[in-house]
Amino acid sequence: MVLQILFLIIAAAAIALFSLNVRKIIRNINLGRPLDRSDRPSERLAIMLKVAFGQSKMAKRPVAFILHLFVYIGFVIINLEVLEIIIDGLFGTHRIFADPLGGLYNVLIASFEVLAALVLIGVIVFFARRNIVHLKRFSGTEMGKWPRSDANIILIVEVLLMGAFLTMNAADYKLQQLGTLHYINAGSFPVSSFLVPLLPDSESTLIAIERSCWWFHIIGIFAFLNYLPYSKHFHIILAFPNTYFSNLEPKGEFTNMASVSNEVKAMLDPTYTPEPVPEGGRFGAKDIGDLSWKNLLDAYTCTECGRCTSVCPANITGKLLSPRKIMMDTRDRLEEVGKNIDKHGKDHQDGKSLLDNYISREEIWACTTCNACTDACPVNIDPLSIIVELRRFAVMEESQAPASINAMFGNVENNGAPWKYAAVDRVNWAEEK
């Protein structure tokens, strides 16, 4: 009973702490402006199933796709065994599903072991790609000490969890062969059976190994659960809502601000009735509160994989822009604002902003608005929408834009086109010489 009570305390504390951190993240996301993404639910569900569950956009890089599929499917399915571990921990049983499932239980355990081996292979290759091969897309000014450490911590934890799982099964299997009380004959062990010769023959030592690995595995999962809100790996959870709330409009189609549209339409049609718009606020975005909640959800969902930056033409040609950095900076600023709320209340102003303090003017104006980053993202994150909102603020609130942009604005105002030629001269190029 002492161990069962201890398990209950650990489980309850882990779930309570995770719930607290998730509520803070939800609160932070809700700091963004309202945005209606409730339309076309069937289409949204199909996108979520295809992109988040089906990993369809990962397939553009086949090797990474296969390895990620090993880790993704393996880790999800293996953790189905956590349900049995939790029940065993609460009631003091051992492999409680063995009798009800019969022969199916052996198939499940064997499948779990094969998947655990595939997870280990995938994780080891991922670790080598980051730390030995040094793939270019895993580097960059934004990939400092913590982002690199975060990725490696998760990979190491996954190796330890899978190792503990297989060692636990190997010790269990040997105890079953010895006929040890409480260790019923259940399960099939195609992978961990290779570890059996490495284990001692002492029954008491085997029990200690099995129990130690059992506790390490479940406590490790609880710890992993509570690490997620502090890590980029929170995308494991957020990828599903993020893909569901994807932008369904054609790529490259920008949104018009209702307040500006009202003015233009009223000028063109005096009988036009303006649409209601929220009072206050800014044109575009300077800080977190000026972005939409979907922009902030994007920031928390970013996997830092670098696919967006690797296809960004501005970045490829040496410009300062990195779409991954845009998302990481947005998340860092959002976390900072959230901590300020926790310490000082929601009305606290720290004198900082997303634009200038985190994202520079040079970065936002380097963007070609080609949408390559959005197309490449495996979880449908849209860095471009944040860049456009920051530009809107710079132009519409501050009247600050590069000289070339200001020249284009002047031409549109004076000539009705982006070029410096008058309207009557537009077709001169077509005239025969």
In 30-80, which ranges are continuous DSSP H helix? 41-47, 62-78
pLDDT tens, N- to C-terminus, the chain (433 residues): 788 899 999 999 999 999 999 999 999 999 999 999 999 999 999 999 999 999 899 988 898 899 888 888 877 777 777 888 888 888 888 888 888 888 898 998 999 999 999 999 999 999 999 999 988 888 888 998 999 899 999 999 999 999 999 999 999 999 999 988 888 888 899 999 999 999 999 999 999 999 999 999 999 989 999 999 999 989 989 999 999 999 998 887 888 887 788 888 888 888 888 777 665 567 889 999 999 999 999 999 999 999 999 999 999 999 999 999 999 999 999 999 999 999 998 888 898 999 999 999 999 999 999 999 999 999 999 999 999 999 999 998 998 999 889 999 888 888 888 888 887 887 777 776 5
Sign of CA dihedral 221, 223, 225, 231: negative
Which pLDDT does position 253 carry in this prediction? 82
Contact present, 175 and 203 (Cβ < 8 Å) = yes
d(CA 198, CA 203): 14
Distance set, CA 341 to CA 24, 27, 229, 338, 348 (Å)? 10, 10, 17, 5, 7
- For residue 139, what is the DSSP state? -
- For residue 307, what is the DSSP state? H
Q: Which of 336, 245, 251 is nearest to 297 (CA)?
A: 245
Tokens of 401: 């834009």
Phi, psi dihedral angles at 359 (to 5 degrees): -110, 125
At residue 381's C-alpha, the angle toward residues 22 and 376, to 5°, is 140
Half-sphere exposure of 349 (CA within 13 A, CB side): 3
**At 33, is the secondary structure helix, strand, or coil?**
strand
Distance set, CA 262 to CA 3, 67, 88, 166, 409 (Å)? 67, 51, 63, 64, 20
**Amino acid occupying residue 208:** A
Contact present, 288 and 335 (Cβ < 8 Å) = no
d(CA 41, CA 52): 16
Which pLDDT does position 96 carry in this prediction? 87
Which pLDDT does position 329 carry in this prediction? 97
- CB proximity list for 387: less than 8 A, separation 6 or greater: 326, 363, 364, 367, 369
Exposure of 151 by Cβ count < 10 A (0-12 exposed, 13-18 middle, 19+ buried)?
A: buried
Contact present, 315 and 363 (Cβ < 8 Å) = no
- pTM, two decimals, is 0.89
Which pLDDT does position 425 carry in this prediction? 80
d(CA 394, CA 400): 5
- CB proximity list for 211: less than 8 A, separation 6 or greater: none
d(CA 126, CA 305): 12
CA 121 to chain centre: 22
